[in-house]
Amino acid sequence: AYHEKVIDHYERPRNVGSMLKTDPNVGTGLVGAPACGDVMKLQILVDETTGEIREVKFKTFGCGSAIASSSLATEKIKGLKVWDAAKIKNTEIARELSLPPVKLHCSMLAEDAIKSAVKDWEQKR
Amino acid sequence: AYHEKVIDHYERPRNVGSMLKTDPNVGTGLVGAPACGDVMKLQILVDETTGEIREVKFKTFGCGSAIASSSLATEKIKGLKVWDAAKIKNTEIARELSLPPVKLHCSMLAEDAIKSAVKDWEQKR
Ligand code: FES
């Protein structure tokens, strides 16, 4: 029995897609979960003047909980300053979605992907 | 890089759905993968005279590889005698989909679900 919020994000995931990796204002995170072998890509488009995240896109081949976690994560970080986005914790996402313990690594995938995208954007500057 | 057959089954999964669990000719398998916590339900509708599998339905919250494995599995067992369906090996499914080693547990989920559905159907008789 999954929480209705998980089902909702699973069935209508927000911000699925891709942005141009070579755009200097786009940070791309690509991470994997050792527990299950799933992979997630998350991209942010950052306003270079304000540091605000203008757009977020993700793609994953991961499970329902991974899709829900990243869909929720993209909603949470859109509009945030890039340094605040990097502070998002997977426990926050897992709590909002009421993920069971065995599915915590799926929300970790979302946290890792955000951090990795922010890092990629920083390295591009 | 996933094999195109995985992508195809992931994007257009075959035989997704549910059948009436209480139907005496329906066997229901519900199994979980310890590696990732994912769950799969697979159901078969068996012709009581011939033992032929008339219909198959599955549902999973699992990852892309789990969806592809079960989608392919439903295609393989539709029309088979129920005792032949129980012989399907996950290695067969994994090979057809070129799954990487880290994703073998996803194809195992499909094999387990078939076996469990057949067992449920047998116990109902
Ligand atoms: S089980 Fe792999 S991301 Fe959820």
pLDDT digits (tens, 9 = 90+) for B11-52: 899 999 999 999 999 999 999 988 888 999 999 999 999 999
- pTM, to two decimals: 0.86
What CATH architecture applies to the domain B4-120? Alpha-Beta Complex (3.90)
Q: Let me know if A63 is a catalytic residue.
A: no
Q: Are A102 and B37 in contact (CB under 8 A)?
A: yes
Which SS3 state, helix, strand or coil, does residue A120 take?
helix
Question: Once rounded to an integer, what is the mean pLDDT over residues A29-37?
Answer: 89
pLDDT tens for residues A75-104? 999 999 999 999 999 999 999 999 998 899
Query: DSSP string of A68-112?
Result: HHHHHHHHHHTTSBHHHHTT--HHHHHHHHT--GGGHHHHHHHHH
Question: Which chain B positions have a beta carbon within 8 Å of A35's beta carbon?
Answer: 35-36
Interstrand relation of A39-46 and A53-60 (parallel, antiparallel or unpaired): antiparallel
Q: Report the Cα B6 to chain-centroid distance in Å.
A: 15
Task: State which of A38, A71, A111 you would mutate to test the pocket of ligand 1, scoring each by most atoms of that ligand within 8 A of its C-beta.
Answer: A38
Banded model confidence at residue A43, pLDDT cuts 50, 70, 90: very high
Q: How many CB atoms within 10 Å of residue B12?
A: 9
Question: Looking at domain A4-124, which of 2.40.50.140, 3.40.50.261, 1.10.10.10, 3.90.1010.10 is its CATH number?
Answer: 3.90.1010.10
Q: Let me know if B63 is a catalytic residue.
A: no
Question: DSSP assignment, residue A24?
Answer: T
Banded model confidence at residue A125, pLDDT cuts 50, 70, 90: confident
Q: What is the 3-state secondary structure (H, E, C) of chain B?
A: CCCHHHHHHHHCCCCECCCCCCCCCEEEEEEECCCCCCEEEEEEEECCCCCEEEEEEEEECCCHHHHHHHHHHHHHHCCCEHHHHCCCCHHHHHHHHCCCHHHHHHHHHHHHHHHHHHHHHHHHC
Residue B1 has pLDDT above 80, yes or no: no
